[in-house]
Amino acid sequence: MQSTRLDSESVVVVGAGFGGLSAACHLADAGADVTVIERRDHLGGAAGRIERDGFRFDTGPSWYLMPEVFERFFGQFGREPSDYYSLTRLDPNYRVFWKDGDSAAVPADRPGQRELFESYESGAGDALEAYLDGAAEAYDVGMSEFVYERRPRLRDWVDPSLLRAARGLTLLGSMDDHVGDYVEHPKLKQLLEYTLVFLGGSPYNTPALYSLMSHVDLDRGVYYPEGGMAGVVDGIAELARDLGVTFERGTAVTGIEPAADGIAVTTAEGRRTVDRVVSNVPPAYAERELLPAGVGDHDPGYWDSRTYAPSAFMLYLGVEGDLPELSHHTLVLPTDWRPHFESIFDQASWPADPSYYVNVPSQTDESVAPDGHSTVVVLVPIAPGLDDSPDQRVRFRETVLDDIAAHTGVDLRDRVVVEESASVTEFASMGYPRGTALGLAHTLGQTGPFRPDHRSSAVSGLYYAGSFTDPGIGVPMCLISGEHVADAVREDVAAAADAGGRSLVPALLRSE
Ligand SMILES: Cc1cc2nc3c(=O)[nH]c(=O)nc-3n(C[C@H](O)[C@H](O)[C@H](O)COP(=O)(O)OP(=O)(O)OC[C@H]3O[C@@H](n4cnc5c(N)ncnc54)[C@H](O)[C@@H]3O)c2cc1C
């Protein structure tokens, strides 16, 4: 399928998040005439950039994980990440402040990690080794069989050879139970479970299969790309242009509809018809706002019944002075974080005792803050759909800054010289249902074939890339989703050729 050329195909990609950018690169590389239409002036979607008074903030992702996925992505075009940006491996990976006064730096190397675990619980060093061996196996099988491999139908997941490959993975119970089989100390459990927040889940609703995230974090390492995540976006956009992709920025798509000779895409400039459309906007938004009424793969009830990943309360702070107490990545955690998870997934409310993440990229990259200043991003996961009125945001800001002062020893309150914020309203404005910051949580029922498909079954020639599809949330996963979309397009083009040439009416609604 890789070899199927797309030289006579015209494609519009709606949205320039990582999924859209990746799809654009793969499709253009296969010969398609690709135009990316992006509503905003900047590319990268959730990975935006704020620049103000000498401070530079990544608005979304800040953990560069799974470097091999980026190497593979650029390698598919004969490039390497280092052609576009350099990487620094962080050590420690991150620091944790617990709210009982304790703190620990999590080292990048295995001996240091063993020592840290052993210092909390006798025997936990060996337990960590055993846990990470299982996580590495889950990662290898998971990536090769489930993530890189596109398996659009349920029956592709119950293939006997696949089940044999996955026989060691009896990991469908909850992460919390699985971790409890290895370590008992609540702080060690938190160190093995916090990565689930990257997937938009909790240790109580995410299958233990995702223990593979500890392999990602503790074995494969945490990196910082030069220029932050926006530097990665710039690199991929440059690659896309080299491959012949055209960008139209600051242009919103207002309609996508089947047409007699393809698919029609409407913007303020008018209507154009192309052979195929890749939507990188959330499918719920595309179905509600862009497709004709009643045309879509899901009814509105489907979207109402989903479990969404958390939204986030974000503060972007330009701060006077250095912050030696904080690492590049710092977590601040109550020793019992269950009430915070309950406030997200069970009884939606603003957390009284929040767990949160503080990012200080100026610890690694002097160019993101003026001399003598620091760039700070605070991310507090909160329930999607919460009312984030201006008053509420002011109150919660105070709660968070007080909490940082009380538990990290850093009082930012009188040192802030630049400030921006984002919360449910801003994420909802991106078309993310209920203002989730990440998409569909990776619960068992929303993993793999249970996520929205890359290929629309309602509109022939329409495809979906990005975090709402398979494999899911996170920059590496969205890059892979773009590759899957290109594979689906190649399959469809090859099938049409086999059937005696391309259909003259590719965008007619299918009857099924
Ligand atoms: C606060 C935060 C922190 C995160 N941290 C990490 C992290 O540390 N590491 C990590 O790997 N991942 C992280 N993630 C997740 C990761 O950023 C996302 O999963 C990923 O970037 C989503 O990409 P996407 O392809 O789904 O597209 P999106 O980012 O959703 O982009 C969609 C694009 O479509 C555009 N668009 C919408 N409507 C229209 C329209 N009508 N016409 C044209 N264009 C339109 C939007 O403007 C946007 O550019 C984080 C996310 C957030 C929000």
What is the reported pLDDT for 82? 98
CA distance 338 to 193: 12
**Domain-embedded: residue 70:** yes
Query: Cα torsion for 38, 43, 49, 53, to the nearest 10°?
Result: -80
What is the reported pLDDT for 245? 98
Co-location of 290 and 311 in the same domain: no
- 14 within ligand 1 shell (Cβ under 6 A): yes
- 448 within ligand 1 shell (Cβ under 6 A): no
CA distance 172 to 260: 46
Co-location of 302 and 448 in the same domain: yes
What is the reported pLDDT for 79? 98
**Domain-embedded: residue 170:** yes
Q: Which structure tokens are listed for 439?
A: 């998409």
Co-location of 186 and 297 in the same domain: no
What is the reported pLDDT for 89? 98
Per the listing, tokens 């709402």 go with 468
Instruction: DSSP for 340-398, please give it.
Output: HHHHHHTS----SS--EEEE-GGGT-GGGS-TTEEEEEEEEEE-TT----HHHHHHHHH
- From the number of C-beta atoms within 10 Å of its C-beta (0-12, 13-18, 19+), residue 495 rates as exposed
- Pairing status of strand 276-279 against strand 462-464: parallel
Ligand 1 centroid–CA 492 distance in Å is: 27
What is the reported pLDDT for 114? 98
Co-location of 348 and 424 in the same domain: yes
CA distance 311 to 385: 8
Q: What residues contact 391, with CB distance under 8 A and at least 6 apart?
A: none
What is the reported pLDDT for 171? 61
Ligand 1 atom closest to residue 285's alpha carbon, by position in its atom list: 38
Cα→Cα distances 398→392, 403, 424, Å: 10, 8, 18
What is the reported pLDDT for 161? 57
Ligand 1 centroid–CA 390 distance in Å is: 24
**Domain-embedded: residue 56:** yes
Q: Yes or no: say if 114 and 104 are a contact pair by the CB < 8 Å rule.
A: no
- From the number of C-beta atoms within 10 Å of its C-beta (0-12, 13-18, 19+), residue 435 rates as buried
Tell me, rounded to whole angstroms, the distance of Cα 495 from its chain centroid.
32
Q: What are phi and psi of 197, to 5 degrees?
A: -65, -30
Write down which residue in 193, 220, 247 finishes a domain. Answer: 220
Number of domains in the chain: 3
Co-location of 14 and 40 in the same domain: yes
CA distance 136 to 78: 28
Mutate to test the pocket of ligand 1, among 63, 281, 477 (most ligand atoms within 8 A of CB): 281
Write down which residue in 165, 195, 220 finishes a domain. Answer: 220
Ligand 1 centroid–CA 51 distance in Å is: 18
* Protein residue with least CA distance to atom 4, ligand 1: 61
H or E element that contains 176? helix 175-180
Q: Which of 195, 156, 198, 157 is nearest to 179 (CA)?
A: 195
Cα→Cα distances 323→287, 315, 359, Å: 46, 16, 11
Q: Which of 383, 87, 399, 124 is nearest to 235 (CA)?
A: 87
Ligand 1 centroid–CA 491 distance in Å is: 27
Single-letter code of the amino acid located at 182: Y
Co-location of 397 and 454 in the same domain: no
What is the reported pLDDT for 199? 79
- 252 within ligand 1 shell (Cβ under 6 A): yes
**Domain-embedded: residue 155:** yes
- 210 within ligand 1 shell (Cβ under 6 A): no
Co-location of 72 and 139 in the same domain: no
**Domain-embedded: residue 503:** no
- 452 within ligand 1 shell (Cβ under 6 A): no
Co-location of 328 and 377 in the same domain: yes
Q: How many residues does the chain have?
A: 512
CA-based end-to-end distance of the chain: 25
- Is 509 strand, coil or helix? strand
- 311 within ligand 1 shell (Cβ under 6 A): no
Can you give the CATH number for the domain in which 58 is found? 3.50.50.60
* Protein residue with least CA distance to atom 26, ligand 1: 466
- Taking phi first (over 0 means left), then psi (-120 to 50 degrees means alpha), and beta for anything else, what does residue 270 get? left
Can you give the CATH number for the domain in which 118 is found? 1.10.405
Ligand 1 atom closest to residue 472's alpha carbon, by position in its atom list: 19
Report the sign of the C-alpha dihedral through residues 363, 189, 398, 45, in that order: positive
Write down which residue in 205, 220, 235 finishes a domain. Answer: 220
- 412 within ligand 1 shell (Cβ under 6 A): no
Report the sign of the C-alpha dihedral through residues 224, 230, 231, 235, in that order: positive
Give the Cα-Cα-Cα angle 112, 118, 121 (nearest 5 degrees): 150
Q: Which structure tokens are listed for 281?
A: 């906007």
Co-location of 48 and 121 in the same domain: no
Q: Yes or no: say if 215 and 222 are a contact pair by the CB < 8 Å rule.
A: no
H or E element that contains 313? strand 311-320
Q: Which structure tokens are listed for 305?
A: 């019944």
Query: Cα torsion for 124, 127, 132, 133, to the nearest 10°?
Result: 150
Q: What are phi and psi of 25, to 5 degrees?
A: -65, -50
**Domain-embedded: residue 268:** yes
Q: Which structure tokens are listed for 164?
A: 């044999």
What is the reported pLDDT for 512? 33
* Protein residue with least CA distance to atom 14, ligand 1: 61
Co-location of 290 and 318 in the same domain: no
- Pairing status of strand 246-248 against strand 33-37: parallel
**Domain-embedded: residue 24:** yes
> pLDDT 10s digit of each residue in the chain, 512 long?
568 999 999 999 999 999 999 999 999 999 999 999 999 999 999 999 999 999 999 999 999 999 999 999 999 999 999 999 999 999 999 999 999 999 999 999 999 999 999 999 999 999 999 999 999 988 988 888 778 887 776 666 666 555 655 555 556 678 888 999 999 999 999 999 998 887 788 888 888 888 889 999 999 999 999 999 999 999 999 999 999 999 999 999 999 999 999 999 999 999 999 999 999 999 999 999 999 999 989 987 899 999 999 999 999 999 999 999 999 999 999 999 999 999 999 999 999 999 999 999 999 999 999 999 999 999 999 999 999 999 999 999 999 999 999 999 999 999 999 999 999 999 999 999 999 999 998 887 787 778 889 999 999 999 999 999 989 999 999 999 999 999 999 999 999 888 865 444 444 444 33
Ligand 1 centroid–CA 418 distance in Å is: 24
Co-location of 475 and 382 in the same domain: no
Q: What are phi and psi of 232, to 5 degrees?
A: -70, -40
What is the reported pLDDT for 158? 63
Extended beta strands in 103-244, E state = 103-106, 223-225
What does pTM read for this prediction?
0.94
Ligand 1 centroid–CA 235 distance in Å is: 16
Per the listing, tokens 């590389």 go with 29
Q: Which of 183, 233, 200 is nearest to 45 (CA)?
A: 233
Ligand 1 centroid–CA 18 distance in Å is: 7
Structural domain of 249: 10-85+227-306+442-498
- 66 within ligand 1 shell (Cβ under 6 A): no
Co-location of 446 and 302 in the same domain: yes
Per the listing, tokens 């890749």 go with 278
**Domain-embedded: residue 97:** no
What is the reported pLDDT for 9? 97
Ligand 1 centroid–CA 229 distance in Å is: 12
